[in-house]
Structure 1
């Protein structure tokens, strides 16, 4: 029995040491080249994000990039028309310095699209009424420099806004209290111009989910409960979504400090 306990203690100690080594990995400058998997040609302007260090960069005309990284960090590569890819940083990538990362082109199958233009009559008064209008009302909470989109004008939408006004701290605590580490990344993400440029061109939420380690449904839930309209949630680019989440989170921190 004593031998078993000693063995277990040794295994636990080794695991703890390994975890400390992973967390204390020295951050250096990693250089690599991104190429087209089909042609072996270098790819320029590929967005590369280190998800662990929350740093971004783009490849030059020779497909090369340099980014702060440590062993076991994860790189996220994104390029229009190519499949996004995640790469784990290894010791060999630092040791040999000639790492090539291949991206695969996406094959797009164009399906038949039925175009239904608005039936215009030529009379301005009639045509204006036929155009879609975002009727989502906005509300503001006194003392907080933030406006809220409440979605369609309905009793449930008004109730949701009133709930936020009456008890905003509880609402936001439920939203962000479960993901404190992910939410702390928001400021780092917003300070990196390369990441912001990439998010401004994205609408699929894939990069956001990787950066924040949240599911798409979690992002939608946060924005819904922060009273953003469905039209905003479905049409905004990833940078606008990030700023909306950040604004709501900053409000949560202010209200949480007052408790």
Structure 2
């Protein structure tokens, strides 16, 4: 009887300990609304239409005319602030941000230096038929984002182009396999990013890849290598906005998953 009592006592203590660990974990992961104000660090004026992204939860929002915003987050999440003409900033969420409603986030202005741009004109003869024939031909295919009424040049994206992705899968040392295979959790964020309107609106106005690198936790050079391996043209890689780049990476990743299942 004594042994049974000891056994059940040990079991009860273990269950209680496990339950406490689960409760503590749930408490840490509990999402709450953060309310704060974004200001200009130079003159303390409020900033309207600042984009805020929770990099951990892949949700976004923007500030109102009073510089106020509200976003779901948990302790230790990272908030990414982006505003035209200001330095992007990352802020770690703390308990104090939930306790105090007067939190202010200050952004610092950037100083831009305009560089000289040299435009090289085509040598035109004045005869339309001759000049048209001499113009460089862009034989790349048009690429489009689902739900958007816009198209843009994206390389020779045809059925034969998928052979590059297949080659990436067959070669264990290839960058595509290394990135897509070793970062499955980051690649899963692709769909989440595309479902958030605030993040999509921000990416559509960006061309610097900064937000994509933060969200996907990959380097800019990796983004370029992914698109090169998926047969996107150089002009697309250099000129597309971040939303178009996101959709291109997503399409490439879907091809990778299909081919990897067939391997």
TM-score range with shorter-chain normalisation?
A: 0.7 to 0.9
**Equivalence for 1:239:** 243
Counterpart Cα distance in 2 of 1:111 and 1:221: 28
Q: Match for residue 70 of structure 2?
A: 66
Deviations 1:132-151 (A, max 9, x none): 4323479xxxxxxxxx8359
Alignment length, in residue pairs? 224
**Matches of 1:68 and 1:137 in 2, distance apart?**
40
Q: Structure 1 CA distance, aligned partners of 2:104 and 2:209?
A: 27
Deviations 1:198-218 (A, max 9, x none): 111111111100010000111
1:164 corresponds in structure 2 to 164
Question: Is the aligned partner of 1:124 residue 2:133?
Answer: no
Gaps of 5+ in 2: 1-20, 143-153
Provide, for residues 44-86 of structure 1, a one-character-per-residue CA deviation record: whole Å limited to 9, x for no partner. Answer: 1111000001000010000001011111111111111111111
For residues 97-112 of structure 1, the aligned pairs below 5 Å read 97-112=101-116
The answer for the alignment partner of 2:211 in structure 1 is: 207
Please name the residue that 1:186 is paired with: 190
Secondary structure of the residue aligned to 1:110 is coil
Residue matched to 1:149:
155
Q: Paired residue for 2:227, among 223, 229, 233? A: 223
| Pairing 1:94–2:98 present | yes
Aligned residues: CA RMSD: 2.7
Give the structure with higher Rg (CA): 2
3-state SS of paired residue (1:105): coil
Structure 2: distance between partners of 1:68 and 1:231: 38
1:46 and 2:50 are equivalent in the alignment: yes
TM-score, normalised by the number of residues in structure 2: 0.76
Q: Report Cα offsets for 1:179-199 as digits up to 9, x if no partner.
A: 111101101101001101111
Shift of 1:178: 1.8
Identify the range of structure 1 (105-114 vs 217-226) with the bigger mean alpha-carbon deviation.
105-114
| Contact 1:173 1:256 (C-alpha < 8 Å) held by counterparts | no
Q: 1:111 to 1:121 in 2, by over 3 A?
A: same
Task: Provide the rounded CA distance (Å) in 2 between the counterparts of 1:99 and 1:175.
Answer: 38
Check whether the contact 1:76–1:87 (CA below 8 A) recurs between aligned residues: yes
Unaligned runs of 5+ in 1: 1-16, 139-147, 152-159
Displacement of 1:169: 4.5
Moved more, 124-133 or 81-90: 124-133
Q: Distance in 1 between matches of 2:166 and 2:215?
A: 32
* Partner Cα separation in structure 2 for residue 245 and residue 165 of structure 1: 12
